[in-house]
Amino acid sequence: MPTEPKNDRQKVPQGWRMDPIPSRPAYRDGEGNIRVPVWLTKNGRHMADTEMVLLPSEAALLADNLTNAMRYNSRSALHELLRDSATALGPGVVYVSKSEPYQV
């Protein structure tokens, strides 16, 4: 069932968006495909839960591209998301100080 955006103060991205479902990990199905559970939203409204189905070669390409994007652009993305309270220590390793509270 579609839901309305919860916070009107934040600008809602327009158009379709696909986000991984944090509580449901990706898995390999019986046919060898990789399935990634995702939420589909349109203009900030939840439209459906579904799965992105990838061949193993497609999943490997996606993983490589995401790793490269995080490696080369992680500092600016982390600063934007965590408002300068996080430090990238390496690919996939982030230190967030508890002494400086941040607001998201």
The answer to whether residue 7 sits within a structural domain is no
The answer to whether residue 10 sits within a structural domain is no
Greater pLDDT, 49 or 94 = 49
Continuous segment of H or E residues that includes residue 70: helix 56-82
Residue 104: pLDDT over 50:
no
The answer to whether residue 2 sits within a structural domain is no
The answer to whether residue 43 sits within a structural domain is yes
The answer to whether residue 1 sits within a structural domain is no
The answer to whether residue 4 sits within a structural domain is no
The answer to whether residue 25 sits within a structural domain is yes
The total of structural domains in the chain comes to 1
The answer to whether residue 58 sits within a structural domain is yes
Residue 94: pLDDT over 70:
no
Burial label for 47, CB within 10 Å (0-12, 13-18, 19+), is middle
Residue 64: pLDDT over 60:
yes
**Residue pointed to by tokens 């158009």:** 15
Give, in degrees to the nearest 5, the angle at Cα 102 between 9 and 78: 90
> Mind listing the pLDDT tens digit for each residue in 3-62?
665 655 667 778 898 888 989 999 999 999 999 999 999 988 999 999 999 999 999 998
Domain span at residue 76 reads 16-96
